Structure 1
């Protein structure tokens, strides 16, 4: 029952998003070919610093960049490139890239795919399908291999951005959390991993002149606190608008209604009993008279 209610609620939110929120349309990249070449080179050089050793057992790493960002509206275009850095280890041994499900989520922004946009969400889930894997020659030692490129649009929540904020303050809000999930080879159990978002972030495009090292722990903690303090979305119609005043008014009306119906029902029952007793007395008197 809870799952059905959750699905109905999500379907309602989807319909509201489709009717009220227009799709995000950042301007196109002026020179896509040059952007692709520059980004691939920058990402490869940044991930080469890992020296063929990934920071997680899946052996994968991501390179995250922003081709476009509007500070006033919070709209941005993002590109996520997924690379194979080293062979998988531990429970990830034997797991193929096409068997991995990837979830990309934001703490303070909503995102949607650039192709066939869907309702804006705080997360995007996708799979690295075999037909989408970029064909490559055998990589050189310590050379990362590109697996997939994902481009999408997003917008920072309006309650988290304002005219007084600076680019360094906004930057942590634009970094996604990338999670992986896959089935363990030879088992039905699931294995999970989280990819580092600081190994190769903002190496091209917006913030590239600052580098990923500008995202300090204090800035990330401040962004997390701001997002956590923001008012969460509440589905209309499932809570009382004013509490406890709304609850008190509703309770008073409920008591009055139950009292009126209950007293009326009790009066009718008493009247019925009186009527039956009176009819019995009248019949008894008529028999005595005869």
Structure 2
């Protein structure tokens, strides 16, 4: 029997300048721009997808970039840190690279006396962490500006901030097949898969203010489910819970999605693994052209005229 939830699928955030967003994630971090499309609910705005070579579930970070958006405030009721997995002996390399591009970072720390990590923020103050570990067997990706032995492999996990973690923990453990695997102080780590790409850390601190939406803030976190059948089975599980009120299944072209808001306020999505980004582009051409859902194709000229062109410029981000 398939697990209904098998790790993270993607994370979606708000940003400001589309080109600065591409420069940071494709240029500095070396993620592949695997899809350039629009927000299906607001098609005058880009939806940019980054990931590994194929944009595999568990590697996909996406953005809605709104030029001029006010910065949000990280706080309770939000995903406050998005953690990426990097090879075990690569932290020194990454700190030198961040120095080169004038990205401030905190000194390395260890959570739960485990892997070392370094925290920094993108141009919109979104919280990013690189976690050095030897448990991740996935291949890394870069456009060649970062040596393969240091390349980002995909997500390690996320950190959620709550004033009280009890209700969020209950949803994850009782409905979403997670287990608490380690606790330390006010931080607990849960996982549906005890490996990079499956970790959810929850920090409980009632003194932290409630977060506010805006630039640099995560809009939602998506968990992975194998296919339409497991998604519908999970949706029925939520409906039986009564108060979680999942949406109907929505067609996001590259996966199918349902959404619900967990009791602590974070918007959760459950997205299918079985479609992918090569449905409308060949592997070699991923992210090169603006892709629209078929219902927006009649509006292509107007949409393209309203979007500022963006490009992946690797030369200025080489070591």
- Shorter chain as normaliser: what TM range? under 0.3
| Normalised TM-score (structure 1) | 0.24
Higher RCO by CA contacts (8 Å cutoff, separation 6 or greater): 2
Computing the radius of gyration from Cα coordinates, the structure with the larger value is 1
TM-score by length of 2: 0.22
